[in-house]
Amino acid sequence: MKLFSGLLFAFICFTLNGFAQQRIVAECTVTYQISLEENILNKDVQNAMQQSSKTVYIKGNDSRVDLNSPSLLQSVIYDKTNGSAVILREFGNNKFMTKLSSKEWRLANKQYEGMTIHFLNETKTILGYECKKAVLNLKDSSVFHIFYATSIAPSVREFEYQFKDVPGFVLEFDLKEHGSSIVKYRATKINLSPVQASKYDIPTSGYRLLN
């Protein structure tokens, strides 16, 4: 009985230790560099990729992801409180807005349902954080290779629906879709300063509402 109690106590301490080591990040700005991992002949596409970036803003239960490229500016504002999202797109002078309920947000990400996650032993350090590797396999044969920081996790996970079950903050990933080149995203900067609340304001004019 004493042996069992000792083992149980050790297990509880180990479990609590594991949780204590991970910090939930509720305020941060993360910038990602975008690149192509395969050589392509189209120089315009190569140049566009080199000029593109992705920025993630986390503030409590709110998140915003900005994808900036020469031809498109897209922002996805997600509210964890009610599971809704707003997508803003700008093509030159044309601006469009799409509002998604929690049900519509899940439907928009249905391609990620039923995927499998394989955790590997490979590690690397990104921006001072030790990251572990995992492979995500989708039903349509698309594959994500990711590296996630084990010591930190975002307070909002569902904003990048494909990573909602990853036990940490994804700082690098690449996507290989059927017949396409590999697109890689790698975090180049993490700022843990407070994010302005205005980042999550929804425009009331200037955008055409799309269903």
Checking if the pLDDT of 28 tops 90, the result is yes
Confidence tier at 35 by pLDDT (50, 70, 90): confident
Read off the pTM: 0.84
Every domain of the chain and the residues it spans: 22-196
**pLDDT over threshold 70, residue 11:** no
Instruction: Look up residue 48 and give its two tokens.
Output: 């566009």
User: What class is the 22-196 domain?
Assistant: mainly beta
Mean pLDDT, rounded, for 128-155? 95
Q: Give the separation between CA 170 and CA 142, rounded to whole angstroms.
A: 18
Percent of the chain with pLDDT over 70: 82
Average pLDDT over every residue of 50-68: 93
78-114 pLDDT tens trace? 999 999 999 999 998 899 999 999 999 999 999 999 9
